[in-house]
Chain A
Amino acid sequence: MQKLDYLKETPSQTAGPYVHIGLAPGAAGFDIYDHELGWDIAGPNARGERIRIEGLVIDGTGSPIKDVLLEAWQANSEGNFAHPEGGGPVEDGFCGWGRVITDFGTGEWAFETIKPGPVPGRNGKIQAPHISLWIVARGINVGLNTRAYFDDETEANAADPVLNTIEWENRRPTLIAKRSERDGKPVYRFDIRIQGDGETVFFDI
């Protein structure tokens, strides 16, 4: 028998309770780097609507998880990613990537960005605007992937190939962020439920 000589992916381990030391040291209580990464997703030059997304990450007991780190990855308003295979050019300073932590007291997280445009999917299908999220924390053995869609994109969401992959239609709303206005600015609410009633859909990407 021939052997396949592929290497094996390094196994994941939990990020632990002190993930901030490595990835957001200011939050751990000390300044060490000239600048921390992931605080400005879209940059000042990005076109498109400026939005805020906020929420909680809730565990199986119904409690907010207060030591989560989330990373966001998104396209610009034209559906291009800041990457050589991202589909096209992006504005100077647009990186599309962000890193946020939950508040130690309340568990709330939030980031400011621009609303992404529709993104080409597989086989010529267009995906509705969405932001990919990656969640790590103490007790999470492998980072969790999910997506935030927007509730004011009803038509695009109905045609989205990924939302339509979810056979259980009653689970699809767990991926839809809800728009409201605060001080005249759009705010989307996106609570993530790790376990229990209304468990958020997580993806194996």
Chain B
Amino acid sequence: MSKPAEYYQRDRSRHPVAYTPGYKTSVARSPRLALISLEQSSSEITGPAFGHNDLGPLDHDLIKNYAKDGDPIGERIIVHGRVLDENARPVPNTLVEIWQANAGGRYRHKKDTYLAPIDPNFGGCGRTLTDENGYYFFRTVKPGAYPWRNLVNNWRPAHIHVSVFGHSFSQRLITQLYFEGDPLIPICPIVQTLPDADAVDQLTAKLDLNATIPLDSIAYKFDIVLRGRRSTLFENRLEGN
């Protein structure tokens, strides 16, 4: 059995730790014992694959994919970027799923009771596959900020939840996209679970005027980086590199 080409270890100093009391829900939902480090096996270096047959033609277009009698209310935006690995190689044909609140900050979820109105023309979720160069894009409306029960006066910055698969179970990632210039970013307890300013910056989509469609939609660019991988085994280099 040849040695499988492993994914780089997850740099845990880059991710939030589990126990972050400023974000109260983490207090009872964080393991107290250390994670056990594994040598990767085929269970970790493989993962599910999806194809275009799994998706509908409007799944990436949140302006149209739930529209009933008109377009959703709100600032029309494009969110686009590439999914790359830590070696800066594109991750092609991988599933990217997003979900978000509407322009008023209300989620179309039976558990969301915030007083902002539901938008009859907005579902709030989308999904797409990256192309052969790792490129993806969505069209949507900019989500609104909303209050939540943490400290009594906490407000989430406008954000879009992002879920990415990559090509192995070890690359699986869920994160959030924030928008450049939002004054709520630095005071959000969930953002503050991130260990440093550079990590926050990596989750902040940048205004991309070149990708903006004049008189139509503002664009934000958001690249996503998944774990990289050592090169595959060569017969004359048994340990890989």
Binding site for B on A (CB under 8 A): 5-23, 25, 28-30, 32-35, 37, 59-61, 63, 65, 67, 71, 73, 75, 81-83, 85-87, 95-97, 104, 119-124, 127, 130, 132, 134, 136-144, 147, 161-162, 165-166, 171, 194-196, 199-205
| Chain A residues with CB below 8 A from B133, complex form | none
Q: B1 near A: Cβ within 8 Å? A: yes
Q: Which of A5, A28, A144 has the most CB of B within 10 A?
A: A28
Q: Which of B29, B48, B54 contacts A140 (CB 8 A)?
A: B29
Report the tally of A-B residue pairs with Cβ distances under 8 A.
264
Nearest B-chain residue to A99, judged by Cβ: B48
Q: B77 near A: Cβ within 8 Å? A: no
- Report how far A10 CA is from B4 CA in the complex, Å: 24
The 9 closest A-B pairs by CB, nearest first: A22-B99, A139-B25, A97-B48, A139-B29, A83-B46, A60-B28, A141-B16, A29-B110, A204-B35
Q: How many whole Å from A59's CB to the nearest CB in chain B? A: 4
> Given A35-B54, A122-B3, A10 and B202 touching (CB < 8 A)?
yes
- Report how far A202 CA is from B34 CA in the complex, Å: 8
> Given A141-B16, A195-B31, A203-B35, A7 and B86 touching (CB < 8 A)?
yes
Nearest A-chain residue to B1, judged by Cβ: A124
Q: Which of B97, B111, B170, B224 contacts A18 (CB 8 A)?
A: B111
User: How would you classify the secondary structure of chain A's contact residues: helix, strand, loop or mixed?
Assistant: loop
Q: B154 near A: Cβ within 8 Å? A: no
| Chain B residues with CB below 8 A from A194, complex form | 28-31
| Chain A residues with CB below 8 A from B227, complex form | 9
- Report how far A63 CA is from B28 CA in the complex, Å: 10
| Chain B residues with CB below 8 A from A10, complex form | 173, 175, 202-203, 224-226
> Given A33-B59, A205-B38, A21 and B99 touching (CB < 8 A)?
yes
- Report how far A204 CA is from B112 CA in the complex, Å: 33
Nearest A-chain residue to B66, judged by Cβ: A32
> Given A7-B85, A8-B86, A205-B169, A119 and B41 touching (CB < 8 A)?
yes
> Given A7-B86, A7-B225, A22-B99, A141 and B49 touching (CB < 8 A)?
no
> Can you sample 23 A-B contacts with CB below 8 Å?
A8-B86, A9-B15, A9-B173, A10-B175, A10-B202, A13-B203, A14-B174, A14-B176, A17-B109, A28-B107, A28-B108, A60-B32, A73-B47, A73-B169, A83-B47, A119-B41, A139-B23, A194-B29, A194-B31, A199-B32, A199-B33, A204-B35, A205-B40
